[in-house]
Amino acid sequence: MCPCSADNVHYDISPTPTVHLRRWTPGRWCAIGTVSGLSGDTKLIGIDFRVQDGRLYGVGELGGVYTVDTATATATKVSQLTTAPSGTNFGVDFNPASDRLRVINDTGQNLALRLQG
């Protein structure tokens, strides 16, 4: 359990071969744990919160879409992109107006997905 306060928290995935979820509170990073539960994917390429349900989502390198538990770093697959992302640098973002997940990368791909629910 991370001893950091939950106020003003920012989450990221560490850039290592083993994906770790961590959060930033003013002044320090707190490790939450190694992301587990990926199905088919071996790492997450990006994460973002979805305004509509307040949950943290991650996208795997083969296009799996996951919810990620912010207390345990456990991923649960909820969808799959129809095209796997390519490239090495990614941007993952939810558009709150259209409620679509957008994945862009350095090869020019621009993928969008509407999640159910």
Reference 50, options 102, 111, 99, 110; nearest CA is 99
Calpha distance 112→117 (Å, rounded): 16
Q: Note the pLDDT of residue 1.
A: 47
* DSSP codes joined into one string, 55-94: -EEEEETTSEEEEE-TTT-BEEEEEE-SS---SS-EEEEE
Within-domain flag for 56: yes
What is the token pair recorded at 107? 């090869």
Within-domain flag for 71: yes
Strand partners, 79: 65
Q: Is the pLDDT of residue 24 over 70?
A: yes
Within-domain flag for 101: no
Calpha distance 88→96 (Å, rounded): 26
Within-domain flag for 104: no
Q: Can you give the residue range of the structural domain that contains 47?
A: 10-84
- Look at strands 64-68 and 20-25 and give their pairing: unpaired
Q: Is the pLDDT of residue 23 over 90?
A: no
Q: Note the pLDDT of residue 5.
A: 47
Q: Note the pLDDT of residue 9.
A: 56
Query: Average pLDDT over the chain, rounded to whole?
Result: 85
Within-domain flag for 48: yes
Would the pTM count as exceeding 0.75?
yes
Per residue in 63-105, pLDDT tens?
Answer: 999 999 988 889 999 999 999 999 999 999 999 999 999 999 9
The total number of structural domains that make up the chain: 1
